[in-house]
């Protein structure tokens, strides 16, 4: 079976969040399961630098007078996954974040940029592909490739592969003006409530949800939540309508990149049988962040995009109480300027208890997962979430809100046989604080704490099982074609 995985991020080269991690790990697991999985993504500067000699394998002419043509270059990751790099320097040769300009705002031409990515994904899935290699299934991810199933629907070219649309986050829908429609070369017939029109705008994600042969999201709970008006972010009705095609497949984690027994970013290696060495990472993290060397206090860790989704404001709201417990906190994140400011101010007030790093730092993310005693992830919504699984795997029990993938991976400590963390329901500072207090009480009971840590570390969060579920889905699409 041949699979084309179309994405806008790929760790370690281009990553703003979990999509980069999933794009790096899932195709590797699919290849291990016997699928010829290949990745299509834009040739951003980081990829051009990583693969400077990638040969040209196809030229793609511009679809209209106002539009750019593109080229495809072939490369291969160190793990052996073939890449098709979509080269169009006018759209993709921009440094930094793939979606945002230097001022932190979306690039104004994102519709054209990811319209091209979507169009080329569809092209490679059909009979008129310029490549000899033709996928049996096209797998699209998030709005940036969401228009590909719409291109296949409105501009079919003979035999073409069925498509899967995976929603990693319904909050990002790729909403653009109507004027983009002719610019993308899509026909007027696409402009309908059964097409890509969405309250007077053009929605990339709606195009994918409407026209893909299967829709998945990244946890079973999120698959249920997004079919409600409350959590459907305006798409609940459509997702219910397509409910027979929608399923939730829980993400895995890349246990080669995230393994406390062999993680080059850590001060000391450890595993479930040698938990004592974890304390060395805690001491090193305190030193790195300039915190007091105070092993009698629990050290909370948080790594996150700083947005309303992640509920990090709830942590800021209980900062005083946290300090008085007493406890320490290490936070790594970037995002909304107000939240960045709030956490910087907290660190300035209590430099020995709160260590804050605003920015994106892969190594520090690993050191927090390993060094913290308790991980905080109080998300308002969370399609899957990878950090809580990293923390479970690193023996750092997480505190999570019962939503989406967090609810599917974390079991509350009150279940003495299966508990691996702490779960609360209300997105309020009070509910978070009560759970923080509960976690700290358990932390002071060394025996109970170790049992909790070990249960988290023993679980299998690898991609093996999810890859099998994707394989079964792809097979079902090929059979019903």
Q: Which residues bind ligand GLC (CB under 6 A)?
A: 17-19, 22, 168-169, 218, 251, 382-386, 405
8-state DSSP, 445: S
Distance in Å, CB of 375 to ligand ADP, minimum: 11
- Residue whose CB is less far from ligand GLC, 163 or 169: 169
| 3-class state of residue 461 by DSSP | coil
- Residue whose CB is less far from ligand GLC, 140 or 386: 386
Distance in Å, CB of 387 to ligand ADP, minimum: 4
Q: Is 80 left (phi over 0), alpha (psi -120 to 50) or beta?
A: left
Sign of CA dihedral 30, 31, 37, 39: positive
CA dist., res. 98 & res. 121, Å (int):
18
Beta strands at 56-60 and 214-217: parallel, antiparallel or unpaired: unpaired
- Residue whose CB is less far from ligand GLC, 10 or 319: 10
Residue pair 444/103 in contact by the 8 Å Cβ criterion: no
Look at residue 272 and give the partner it binds from ligand GLC, ligand ADP, none, a contact being a CB closer than 5 to 8 Å depending on partner kind. Answer: none
- Residue whose CB is less far from ligand GLC, 215 or 218: 218
CA dist., res. 481 & res. 262, Å (int):
44
Beta strands at 175-176 and 201-203: parallel, antiparallel or unpaired: antiparallel
Distance in Å, CB of 202 to ligand GLC, minimum: 22
- Residue whose CB is less far from ligand GLC, 31 or 168: 168
Residues that bind ligand ADP (CB under 6 A): 17-18, 21, 303-305, 332-334, 360-362, 365, 384-387
Residue nearest to ligand ADP (CB): 18
Distance in Å, CB of 81 to ligand GLC, minimum: 18
Residue pair 216/167 in contact by the 8 Å Cβ criterion: yes
Distance in Å, CB of 404 to ligand GLC, minimum: 7
Nearest to 303 by CA among 252, 350, 371: 371
Distance in Å, CB of 19 to ligand GLC, minimum: 5
- Residue whose CB is less far from ligand GLC, 98 or 385: 385
- DSSP H helices, 67-163, are 89-92, 110-124, 148-154
Look at residue 218 and give the partner it binds from ligand GLC, ligand ADP, none, a contact being a CB closer than 5 to 8 Å depending on partner kind. Answer: ligand GLC
- Residue whose CB is less far from ligand GLC, 227 or 409: 409
Look at residue 331 and give the partner it binds from ligand ADP, ligand GLC, none, a contact being a CB closer than 5 to 8 Å depending on partner kind. Answer: none
Look at residue 362 and give the partner it binds from ligand GLC, ligand ADP, none, a contact being a CB closer than 5 to 8 Å depending on partner kind. Answer: ligand ADP
Beta strands at 70-76 and 56-60: parallel, antiparallel or unpaired: antiparallel
CA dist., res. 145 & res. 151, Å (int):
10
Distance in Å, CB of 217 to ligand GLC, minimum: 8
**Burial tier of 80 (Cβ tally within 10 Å: 0-12, 13-18, 19+):** exposed
């Amino acid at each position: 079976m041949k699979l084309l995985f179309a994405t806008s991020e790929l760790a370690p080269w281009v990553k703003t969040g979990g999509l980069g991690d999933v794009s790096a790990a899932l195709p590797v697991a699919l290849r291990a399961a016997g699928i010829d999985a290949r990745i299509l993504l834009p040739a951003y500067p980081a990829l051009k630098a990583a693969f400077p000699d990638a040969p040209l394998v196809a030229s793609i002419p511009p679809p209209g007078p106002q539009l750019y043509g593109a080229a495809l270059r072939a490369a291969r990751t160190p793990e052996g996954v073939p890449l098709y790099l979509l080269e169009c320097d006018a759209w993709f040769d921009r440094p930094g974040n793939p979606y945002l300009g230097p001022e932190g705002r979306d690039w104004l031409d994102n519709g054209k940029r990811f319209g091209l990515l979507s169009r080329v994904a569809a092209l490679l899935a059909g009979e008129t592909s310029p490549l000899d290699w033709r996928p049996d299934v096209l797998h699209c991810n998030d709005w940036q490739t969401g228009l590909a199933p719409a291109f296949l629907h409105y501009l079919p070219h003979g035999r073409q592969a069925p498509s899967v649309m995976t929603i990693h986050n319904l909050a990002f829908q790729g909403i653009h003006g109507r004027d983009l429609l002719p610019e993308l070369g899509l026909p007027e017939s696409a402009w309908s409530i059964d097409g890509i029109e969405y309250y007077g705008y053009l929605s990339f994600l709606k195009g994918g949800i409407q026209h893909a042969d299967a829709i998945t999201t990244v946890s079973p709970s999120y698959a249920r939540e997004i079919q409600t008006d409350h959590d459907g972010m305006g798409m609940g009705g459509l997702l219910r309508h397509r409910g027979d095609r929608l399923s939730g497949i829980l993400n895995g984690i890349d246990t080669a990149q995230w393994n406390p027994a062999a993680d080059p970013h850590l001060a000391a290696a450890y595993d479930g049988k040698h938990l004592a060495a974890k304390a060395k990472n805690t001491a090193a993290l305190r030193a790195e962040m300039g915190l007091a060397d105070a092993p009698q206090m629990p050290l909370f860790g948080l790594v996150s995009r700083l947005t309303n989704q992640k509920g990090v404001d709830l942590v800021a709201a209980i900062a005083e109480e946290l300090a008085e417990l007493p406890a320490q906190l290490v936070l790594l994140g970037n995002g909304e300027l107000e939240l960045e400011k709030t956490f910087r101010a907290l660190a300035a007030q209590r430099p020995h208890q709160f260590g804050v790093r605003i920015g994106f730092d892969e190594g520090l993310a690993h050191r927090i997962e390993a060094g913290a005693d308790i991980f905080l992830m109080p998300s308002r919504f969370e399609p899957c979430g990878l950090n809580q699984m990293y923390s479970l795997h690193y023996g750092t029990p997480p505190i999570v809100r019962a939503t989406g993938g967090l609810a599917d991976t974390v079991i509350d400590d009150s279940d003495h046989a299966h508990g691996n963390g702490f779960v609360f329901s209300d997105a309020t500072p009070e509910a978070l604080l009560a759970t923080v207090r509960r976690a700290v009480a358990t932390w002071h009971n060394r025996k109970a704490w170790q049992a909790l840590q070990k249960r988290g570390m023993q679980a299998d969060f690898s991609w093996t099982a999810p890859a099998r579920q994707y394989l079964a889905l792809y097979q079902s699409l090929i059979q019903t074609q």
